[in-house]
Amino acid sequence: MLMQRVLTALVLLPLLLALVWFAPTPWLYLALSAVGLVMAWEWTAFMRLTAPLQRAGYLLLTAAVLALVWFSPINGPGLTTALIPVVLIWLIVPLRFRGFPANGAVSTPLMVVAGQLMIASTLLSIAALHALPNGPIKLLFVFFLVFAADTGAYFAGRRFGKHKLAPNISPGKTVEGAIGGLVLCALWGGVAGSFAFGLHSPGAIALMVVLSLIVAVASIIGDLTESMLKRAVGLKDSGHILPGHGGILDRVDSIVAAAPTMLLGLRLCGLV
């Protein structure tokens, strides 16, 4: 299993880095839209849709939404306003964690809408970050911020973890691990963030550190939300497309919450 995970990462990471670094933003969005369709297919399992026609219909809906939002005013100045309710939803999702599993199930109509919001907001946010001046560096900063949250949580959790963060949802995660992830994200935000976004004043750097911490919290929420939804329907993994890793949603569950939160925060704070 470990060798599969390593080999898959060795193949996918260079492809992702090359795509971010060399592809124009429209081509990046197009490539990620293909990933979005896989996410949509996996999401249908969370909705307990098993009929091929139902799942195919949701894919067609996703493709139409992704095309529509790309050519709409939302993909521009309107994106800031559109992201406000999306980020607020992410920040209030933890209210469902405490009552899980009693309140873990979500109605199918709500899941239909939630999936479209999640996929479209994630891909548009990634594209908008990529389209900024020196966008590839800024986008990679966000990706590695999420990686820092996971890495810090893993090592701090192994060394100091005693108190469960959400035992009914993800028994392996601890409060101490989450704190370790936040500390590493604060360091990454202060050092790498000041470089990626060209920040020089102490106030701007402090603002970036605070925003990085908020984004790190959002990434944890995204991870726990996917775990909650999987447990609600009895899934171990969201899919099997990535050997050793599971599905696409298993790998991007943190990014789907982190990317919109980062873009909205950057715009509201005047950092871009």
Low-confidence ranges of the chain (pLDDT < 70): 1-10, 103-105, 242-245
- Tell me the sheet residues that pair with 246: 242
**What Cα–Cα distance (Å) separates residue 98 from each residue in 47, 185, 231?**
22, 25, 14
Give the integer Cα–Cα distance in Å for 216 and 198. 21
Question: Mean of the per-residue pLDDT values for the chain?
Answer: 91
Which domain range does residue 166 map to? Answer: 2-268
What is the reported pLDDT for 99?
A: 77
What is the reported pLDDT for 15?
A: 87
The DSSP call for residue 105 is: -
Question: What are the residue ranges of helices labelled H in 71-134?
Answer: 78-92, 108-130
- pLDDT per position as a tens digit, 89-124: 999 999 888 878 776 567 888 999 999 999 999 999
The phi, psi pair for 166, rounded to 5°, reads: -150, 75
What is the reported pLDDT for 6?
A: 55
> What's the total number of domains in the chain?
1
What is the reported pLDDT for 3?
A: 58
Q: What is the pTM of this model?
A: 0.94
What is the reported pLDDT for 9?
A: 62
What is the reported pLDDT for 109?
A: 87
